[in-house]
Amino acid sequence: MLAAGPPRARLGACVVFFALLVAALPRPGLALTLTDMTGRVVTLAAPPQRIISLVPSATEIIFALGGEERLVGVTDFCDFPPAARQKRSVGGMIAPNLEVITTLTPDLVIGTREGNRYETFDQIRRLGIPVYLVHAGNVGEMLDAVGRLGHLTGRADAVAPLAARLSQRIHAVSTAVKSLRRPRVLYVLWPDPLIVPARASLITELIGLAGGDSITSAQSGDYPRFSIEAAVARAPEVIILADHGSGTGMQQRHQWDRLKSLPAVRTGRLHSVDGGILHRYGPRVVDGLDQLARAIHPEAFR
Amino acid sequence: MTAEARLARVLIALGLGLTAVVAAALFVGSAGLTPGAVIEVLAGRATADSTERVVVLSLRLPRIAVAAIAGGALAVAGVGFQALTRNPLAEPSVIGVSSGAAFGVVVAQLTGGGAGLGDTFRLVAFGLAGALVAGITVYLVATTQAGFPVPTLLLSGVIVGVFFSAAITVITSLVDINRLGGIIHWLLGNIGPVAPASLLVFAVLAAIGVLLILLRARELNVLALGEESAVQLGVDAERLKRQIFFGAALLTAAVVAFTGPIGFVGLIVPHVLRMLLGSDNRFLVPAAFVGGAIFLLGADTLARNIVAPAELSVGVITSFCGAPFFVYLLRTRYRGGLP
């Protein structure tokens, strides 16, 4: 697991940390010198009014906070909420269109190291547009991202209610499964090649909160490749197949059904969850957590 | 028609062609600027920090410069490799030198990321090391007593290319999934606006590479008669070949470091120009530079606009043009091997 202590204590620590952080953020009105979530210093002439999000998770958070008025551009992958589709797209995450970005005259671009390229940040900075990087590898950082994006979009008031709602949902799920035995879980982010969540990924923490024990949680990095043999050797009791749209999760079921030695296969415990929710750190992560907990501990949700 | 008159005509045509593609690249783009707005900016009448000014001066102009230099450099590298091997199908991507450079640059990218001048030099240095290793390997594998016969050279190039592609695949299998998209994007060959200081470095490297080849163009003409005749005519063939090889490898490495591997420019452009100009390298080298600039800038302008606001990778376009052209050459002109 990511940190010592029962899930509840960790959550409490997250909330305290997050509250301190909110208190430490500068108030709008003056030139702002901020530190983004990767430790880079970002200087803004004024609180941003025209923001482009190159990160689907950040787009979701901004909409959930009601800060979308200041959002002038998103990527082709920013498909939630549906209203995000109405925003002007600047292209994909890997190579957004710099001309479109320029014509939208943004005063801030929100990016991520997970999916954007540093060349893109460099090109955007040279156009005189500051770039603020977000990142979340666990629930605490997700709540941190909510707080930061709330301040950047002038929706600081909406942060606490949203964070409280998210924390409550997480707490409810983790309480429901707390006393149950923790089965060994294999989470299949991508089947071929097999890609799994590792130590530094949000999904690993969510599996723990959902009452499971991820068999890949000790791997380094966030989403490494993993050998099927190693997965078989660890005898997962539950296999969770991430769905990337149109039922792709369960379509790979037959690949796993052949591995009859696996406890999960013998007991038919293969489940599909919505990867579109779980592989982002937007507010819907709590729905993803719910799906995970129901897959790992169906008995707790009857 | 005399050689001079033919040269003059070709130069005029190249000049017009370059003007046309530069104009297209300046005026067309997904920002949807009006021609009037672009002219205002070029005339220096746009207000500072206006969108129009940023789009034209900070996005389109640097990109035009990168495309033109890269295209010119690749075409001259093609002429260099062709003269060196006396084999008209030799080209950086066909003979595996691009793959070697790409491997070097990917290693450099993964062992440190950044966009400063130091990073630029690191990328070029790693790319050059990869290009030299690949080039020397192909040279050693393909050399026969009869020089570089087409099949041997092509096969050696393919094999060395496969080896370095495999080496790149090893890296992409181990790299974090979040960085994979960026590396694949780079491997497709893409042109972007480069910072002014890096652009200057690129221009200087390209100039060095072109001069290394251009200044020996006369001797390359003699080499075309055969190595023995060249030696009899007082050419130090070994030294000449080393210099040409280094120049062409430097050009390839510099382009790969700045744009990723872009194939076939060094094949198409010299061939078309040889049909127009003949094979005098003194004319061919400068003409190839301009022709390469026209071709790659045209291809990049297409890549930037045909699926706007998304973009295609320019390497895809050059390969779509280059692969059929290669087949055409192989089936028509070099059917039974070389004369």
Whether the pLDDT of residue B6 is over 50: the answer is yes
| A interface residues, B as partner, C-beta within 8 Å | 76, 89-95, 97-100, 102-103, 105, 113-115, 117-119, 122-123, 126-128, 190, 193, 195, 221-225
Nearest to A225 among B58, B173, B181 (CB): B173
Using CA atoms, how far apart are residues A16 and B142, in angstroms rounded to an integer? 68
What is the bridge-based pairing of β-strands A41-44 and A32-35? antiparallel
Which chain B positions have a beta carbon within 8 Å of A91's beta carbon? 309-311
Comparing alpha-carbon positions, the chain B residue that sits nearest to A101 is B31
Query: Would you call B193 an interface residue with chain A, using a CB distance cutoff of 8 Å?
Result: yes
Query: Would you call B192 an interface residue with chain A, using a CB distance cutoff of 8 Å?
Result: yes
Whether the pLDDT of residue B339 is over 60: the answer is no
Q: Give the minimum alpha-carbon distance from A247 to chain B in angstroms, rounded to a whole number.
A: 22
Whether the pLDDT of residue A11 is over 70: the answer is no
pLDDT confidence of residue B3 = 74
A6-10, A298-302, B125-129: which has the highest mean pLDDT? B125-129
pLDDT digits (tens, 9 = 90+) for A99-134: 999 999 999 999 998 889 888 998 999 999 999 999
Confidence of residue A2 (pLDDT cuts 50, 70, 90): very low
Top-confidence residue, A221 or A110 = A110
- Residues B250-265 have a mean pLDDT of 94
Query: Would you call B185 an interface residue with chain A, using a CB distance cutoff of 8 Å?
Result: yes
Residue B59 to residue A122, Cβ atoms within 8 A: no
Hey, how many other C-beta atoms are within 10 angstroms of the C-beta on A254? 8
Whether the pLDDT of residue A10 is over 70: the answer is no
Region class of B260: left (phi > 0), else alpha (psi between -120 and 50), else beta: left
Structure tokens at B193: 């606006």
- Order of all β-strands in the sheet with A108-111: A88-89, A71-74, A51-53, A108-111, A131-133
pLDDT digits (tens, 9 = 90+) for A199-220: 989 999 999 999 999 999 999 8
pTM equals 0.83
pLDDT digits (tens, 9 = 90+) for A155-182: 999 999 999 999 999 999 999 999 999 9
3-state secondary structure of B309: coil
Beta strands, E only, chain B = none
pLDDT confidence of residue B224 = 87
pLDDT confidence of residue A5 = 45
Using CA atoms, how far apart are residues B41 and B43, in angstroms rounded to an integer? 5
Q: Give the minimum alpha-carbon distance from B192 to chain A in angstroms, rounded to a whole number.
A: 9
Which chain B positions have a beta carbon within 8 Å of A93's beta carbon? 181
Top-confidence residue, B178 or A65 = A65
Tell me, what amino acid is at A104? L
Whether the pLDDT of residue B147 is over 60: the answer is yes
pLDDT digits (tens, 9 = 90+) for B297-313: 999 999 999 887 778 89
Q: Give chain A's mean pLDDT.
A: 89
Q: Give this complex's ipTM.
A: 0.76
